[in-house]
Structure 1
Amino acid sequence: MEHVDVTQVADQQVVIYLKRFSKDFNGMKNDIEQQGNGYQRKANQIENQIVMKMKDYNDAYNIGFENALTDIESYKQRYHQLKEMDIVSKEEKTRQAKLKCEESFKTSFISGLNEKIENAKKDIAELNKGLAQRDFNGETYEFCVSPTSRDDFKEYYKIIQSGKEYMVNNLLSETLSESQRRIMDDLFIKLSSVENDQETEQMLMEYTDYRNYLDYDIKIKYASGDFAYFSKVNKEKSGGETQTPFYVIMAASFEQVIRNRNQNEDFGCVVIFDEAFNNMDEQRIQEMIKFYNEREIQTFIAVPPSRASTIIPYVNTRLLVIKQRQQSFVEGFKDEQL
């Protein structure tokens, strides 16, 4: 009897719960059914779109596949085949493009440096024409340029100056020998193997700077007919004998910058000398001022009173700077005020 009573109580409780929550259960059931129907409609639309794409593909390429989802695997296999073929094609195109870039760099590397080196030689030859007519107290100067003495650049200089091309552009072009090509290949491998961007940039700057392929010096010719090179004199002597070539080098450097400027840009070259020509005699100073006046250089020269009388005849503006205690005064003056 007890079991029957328990069962009856349970049945009654179920009835109570069903009455209480029947609306909620039905609502959830309806929501689920509606969502399911929506998903099914969307799936049917997507299936229809896929079937239409299959038909379009078959019509375009006459591939012979079935226009049904049951044959979807055939289409998937075809897709992966084409994708792999496309990847291989793109990799080959990328490889070819990289090779073209490398070959272009190699060719321009040689021709570009050769052009810069030749231009530098022309600039120096032009400068020497002017220097040959200038006597600095019995001395004349001549810039000398020669192939670099650096072992790590010697072979590259020979190749650059050979006038040959790295690539075979046509049957008439003169190309590098096998040994020269190996030397250049080793260089380009070295340039491309550096992983650090900063190191790569520094190395590129070093090897693309034409100045590193040349050695420079100044030949000093004396009235007696003897001569010496500035590289040696600079180590052994001091005074005007070393200062004069120094100022000539300065002028030549500025003049080269002027010549290489962009002609479309406003440009000026201003050089400021403090206590200039302090170790040079009057004749050297006068010739040096004349030399600078012939260049496209605007000079500002600060000298002590003892040098002023030597320089004043060769400058356009004269200013006297007077310092009194913690104050300074600037006044213009004429020759007779000295």
Structure 2
Amino acid sequence: MKVQRKLFYLMVGGILSSLMACGSDKEAELVNTQTVEIGAVSKIVLDYDADDLLIKNSSSKKVVLEEYLSKDKRKYYSKVSKNGDTLSIQEGRRPIGTDFKSKMVLSLPKNYSDELRIHSTSGKVETHLSNKSMSSITLDTTSGKIYGDDLIADTIKLITTSGLISSRSLTSKGTLRIKSTSGEIKLHKSKVKRLILHTTSSKATLDELKGQVEYETKSGNLTVTDFSGAGEFTASGDGSLNLGVNHLADDLSVFSKNGAVTVSLPDSQTPQLDVKTKEGKVDNRWEGRTKKAKLSTPRVTIETRNGDITVK
């Protein structure tokens, strides 16, 4: 009799486990829509923990928030509030467990031109905007992924600790500021007045970059292709620097303490060139070509302590 009872409980437990497993596979569905008049709002702030966030344009002149949840309860709905010129949107309560899925879709009027600040601790942040320009855009995660495409603003900030930053078509009339501790950075087609890029150990790949650059890392690796501009590139530790220059707008400084440095210079210009290292090897294919450089041309300074240098 005891054996039969044990078998019965085992069967019931197995059935319950199967049902719970099936429930955990439920996808997020649209369960709630909130609409807000834009009015005098000049700052929109989103703050979530693990939710995926998609920011796109609205077909109306209102701000629309669509909430996709795998469990529909009012207490899970986002908290939306207005305080002066600020519209704040925060996540609602979340159930305990890992089977809950959520995604927020925020739609903005195309004519919105003020400040936008988006944060998700571990969720994905994705933008598809066609606004002519905003005053400020900030996309911020700790470990989530940032996909910031088609962004135009006076000031743009992309911040993460260990998550991915990936962007296509960034335009900043002022400063594009990117900060990452160890997350990978991928930028394609960025046109900025000034880029400030600081990392600790991130791998960064920048393609079609135009503007003044301030790059700092300790042990991260940087690759820049089709670069038009000027600036300072510094690796204070073992970081490597690989720059493909299409056009020099002003002076260029490249330094790595222990990492390798490779700089490809444009044939259309003859810059003033200064290359030096303490312990590294130098392969300077421009040696002798820059003796005729005029004082008015940009100066290129390349230096390492122990890293090898290649100029081509």
Q: Give the structure-2-normalised TM-score.
A: 0.30
Question: More helix per residue: 1 or 2?
Answer: 1
Q: Give the greater-gyration-radius structure (CA).
A: 1
- Highest relative contact order (Cα 8 Å, sep 6+), 1 or 2? 1
Greater fraction strand: 2
* TM-score (normalizing by structure 1): 0.29
